[in-house]
Structure 1
Amino acid sequence: MQDVGRIAAQEGLTDADVERARADTPGCAKVMHFNNAGASLMPRQVLDASVGHLRLEADMGGYEAAAHAAERIESVYDSAARLLGCDRDEIALLDNATRAWDMAFYGIPFRPGDRVLTSRAEYASNFIAYLQVAERTGARIEVVPDDEHGRLSVEALRSLMDERVRLVSMTHVPTNGGLVNPAVEVGKVAREAGALYLLDACQSVGQLTVDVREIGCDMLSTTGRKYVRGPRGTGLLYVRREVLDRLAPPTLDLRAATWTAADRYELRQDARRFETWEADYAARLGLGAAIDHALGWGLPRIEARVTRLAEALRGQLAEIPGVTVRDRGVRRCGITTFTLDGVPAEQLKSALAARGINVSVSRRDSTRLDMDGRGLDEVVRASVHYYNTEEEVAALVRTVRKCGSGTAGLGGRAPGPTFSPTP
């Protein structure tokens, strides 16, 4: 059941705001984009920032362009800190969210017998890293059961805590559904037990208000390309100042540390110890522009708009014979997942694409524990953003309805991956 009371208290974007947002977004004139949980359409301000710097590099050289833009590059840290509710020295800029998450997770010095508690809806990349570290170090990976709404059970988490729990690691918004995990409540449990808390916020930052102080996480990773609306190849890592020296960056270079003598080095005293010297400054400036753009609208207003639009989409899809909406949770966000009886997800995606409507498909191997537990091989994922319109939602729903009735020109099964039984 959606937490409508909290959402209703927020003032969303007006029709005029949405019109202005669409005017700022060149892609809105070309497609109906419901793949914002994959990569959002960038506003022109982001394009201008990134392309402008690339031109500067072409005109004067890469090093010289970076020096020329040094003040604007530094300001990206300030923007990211405002976005997440932290200080600028707690921010590292990375080239993607996976790199950001890896630098935090692999920086924890695990020992045999250490316990890592995580959720059933963890993303494949994270769980593969858990398994690798368990093999290397003798740490144990334990999955916390869901509650009756499909969220990580805070009660179960509390019952599992002891002095051996080194890390609580959770995905805020899973890749395969609109559920929002209880990040604040999990933070309270982790703090009480003295365990580190790593939050994968790849799918939540930019569509929800995310405040690391309120959440109480020690580390948070996110991307620029999804709801923040930045370029691909950008990511953010937050590391709480007080835990910085409890982590050992898995790789170092002259950005992360200073070579102080022939046999010694000193780590940086801020989160940039997790960065590397070489960087795509055009992309980073685009990321900064995207963050400033989001902050200009106001995250509470974005969240209200996105949440209402997604609830409208779920309600309309649920009225179509043969459609099952697969989202769970008490609080739900801008991601809607569903299946249509008799129509493979990839085939439905292709039918929508033929009508200029972008969606994506989440498959079993991206969130294996959750999908196996619900008996799902794949779901169609339609993720809204504030620049989407009610008319676009209606167009998506009409096409799905036609696909269900066999009037959308669907042929046989579209080619795609096959799924093998779980071992």
Structure 2
Amino acid sequence: MTHPFSSYRKLFPILENTIQLSSCSQSALSLPVKRAIDDYLDIWTRRGADWGYWMDQVALARAEFARMIHADANDIAVLGSVSDAASAIASALHFDGERQAIVTGSLDFPSICHVWLAQQPRGAQVRFVQAQPGASDTTDKVVRAIDGHTALVSVSHACFYEGQIVDIAATGRAAREHGAVQFVDAYQSAGSLAIDVRAQQVDILAAGAQKYLLGIPGIAFLYVRPELAQRLTPSVTGWFGRVNPFEFNPAKLDFADGAARFNTGTPPMMCASVARAAIGLINEIGVPAIEDYLGDLSAVALEEAPRLGLEVVSPKTPGAKGANTAIRIPNASEVEARMLQSGYVVSARNDVIRVAPHFYNTAEDVVGALRELARLTR
């Protein structure tokens, strides 16, 4: 298979000796990201503090994320994690009327589900849609679970466990038809699946920078549809959620317009420097091109794994899943460590090994990892 992004492989030094296929957990370190870290440390060393530089990096990171999902930068808040983003959104919802239900999925990432469960003392009733690993009907199940009592629909665009994709346009449409709002966890899709929040009519979407966005943990971006943002008042807040954070008035609680009202404390400056460089690299290539290529690598994995006697847990159709191909391995954590000794970085979750390439990987990388998995588990 031709590698359309072969010229970018030199930007990822680890690939000289080790094959990193763990983008569902942590992508490979790129030279632009390393330079961003070095620049931040250099400025910190020479200047001691440079608030203007820090805030510029936050603004640039926010702009890069907005560009990637076809949003306006003013519609993006910057927080520390997707859990923080979900908590801020939850704090702005009310569950004391007829709309008390939160619809979410049994295969969604536990951290997000825990945020919704924590709203039960406030009157929320959490309904779990029973999603099956490898299935392609989760979208339909979510749509059927939404009714006039639903306040919030929470979906993972791509599942962390085995990569199955939810049609966020369809679930969002069903939510709107019943007067509910939708929260999209895009941590496993942003940077690998094309997202257009305007075309897909997304209400709320959050993603962190650590995985397919090529960055590090410690920063997350929260998109809130402008008209919706103005109707929501979070109780999870901080000084950057104010109209003028630098007024320094402890007795005045005013909320900024739009998504900025969901900002909390001082934003993660160094993580923003990294995210600016990392997402900038993604935008340079273009997510649609990356998605197409990762679809080709998925097809390679889905063809090779059964041939080697490996059990694929992910959906068997490339278009039904993201870049992650999950292989059933009972002792997954042990095998993950042994794979690293063999020169392959993969990611274990419970009883699966996730082989999750990015645009810098090749078909040979994927096939080699699967063959080594087969050898180690034979």
Question: Deviation of residue 154 (structure 1)?
Answer: 4.4
Q: 1:74 to 1:127 in 2, by over 3 A?
A: closer
Q: For residues 43-82 of structure 1, give each alpha carbon's deviation from its aligned partner in whole angstroms, at most 9, with x where no partner exists.
A: 21121122202210121122xx231454454222221211
Aligned to 1:39: 26
TM-score with structure 2 setting the length = 0.91
Correspondence for 1:381 among 354, 360, 375: 354
Q: Distance in 2 between matches of 1:261 and 1:227?
A: 39
Distance (whole Å) between structure 1 residues aligned to residue 78 and residue 251 of structure 2: 28
Matching residue of 2:375:
402
| Higher alpha-carbon deviation: 343-352 or 235-244 | 343-352
Length, aligned pairs only: 372
Task: Give the corresponding residue for 1:366.
Answer: none
Equivalent of 1:327, from 311, 314, 317?
314
Partner secondary structure for residue 213 of structure 1 = coil
Aligned pairs for 1:168-183 within 5 A: 168-183=153-168
Contact 2:109 2:160 survives alignment (8 Å): yes
- Aligned residue in 2 for 1:268: 256
Residue 230 (structure 1) aligned with residue 215 (structure 2): yes
Q: Is the alpha carbon distance of 1:167 and 1:59 closer, same or farther for their aligned partners in structure 2, counting shifts above 3 Å?
A: same
Instruction: Provide the rounded CA distance (Å) in 1 between the counterparts of 2:133 and 2:324.
Output: 20
Given the two structures, how large is their TM-score scaled by the length of structure 1?
0.82
Alignment of 1:61-100 (within 5 A): 61-62=48-49, 65-68=50-53, 70-100=55-85
After superposition, residues 23-422 of structure 1 pair within 5 angstroms as 23-62=10-49, 65-68=50-53, 70-111=55-96, 114-134=100-120, 136-146=121-131, 150-151=135-136, 153-257=138-242, 258=244, 263-321=251-309, 323-328=310-315, 331-340=320-329, 344-363=331-350, 378-405=351-378
User: What is the distance in 1 between the residues matched to 2:352 and 2:325?
Assistant: 10
Instruction: Tell me how far apart the structure 2 counterparts of residues 70 and 263 of structure 1 sit (CA, whole Å).
Output: 25
1:108/1:246 contact within 8 Å kept: no
Residue 198 of structure 2 aligns to a residue in which SS? helix
Per the alignment, do residues 338 and 74 of structure 1 end up closer, same or farther by CA in structure 2, a change over 3 Å counting? same
Q: Percent identity?
A: 23
Q: Distance in 1 between matches of 2:47 and 2:186?
A: 37
Helix, strand or coil for the counterpart of 2:171? Answer: helix
How far apart are the structure 1 equivalents of 2:2 and 2:215? 23
Of residues 95-104 and 292-301 in structure 1, the stretch that sits farther from structure 2 once superposed is: 95-104
**SS of corresponding position for 2:183:** strand
Q: CA deviation at 1:146?
A: 4.5
- Distance in 1 (CA, whole Å) between partners of 2:29 and 2:133 is 37
Query: For 1:122, what is the secondary structure of its paired residue?
Result: coil
CA RMSD of aligned residues (A): 2.3
Checking the alignment, whether the CA contact within 8 Å between 1:116 and 1:168 is kept in structure 2 is yes
Query: 2:255 and 2:294 mapped to 1: Cα distance?
Result: 41
Runs of 4+ in 1 over 6 A off after TM superposition: 259-262
The superposition leaves residues 215-256 of structure 1 with CA deviations (integer Å, 9 ceiling, x where unpaired) of: 222111101010010122121110111111332223322211
Q: CA deviation at 1:102?
A: 2.3
The whole-number CA distance in structure 2 between the counterparts of 1:263 and 1:292 is 39
Residues 247-266 of structure 1 show CA distances to partners (whole Å, capped at 9, x for unaligned) of 22233222112579785421
Give the 3 Å change call, closer, same or farther, for CA 148–128 of structure 1 in structure 2.
Answer: closer
* Unmatched tracts of structure 2, length 5 or more: none
Structure 1 position 320, deviation (Å): 1.6
Deviation at 1:161, TM superposition (A): 3.3
Radius of gyration: which is bigger? 1
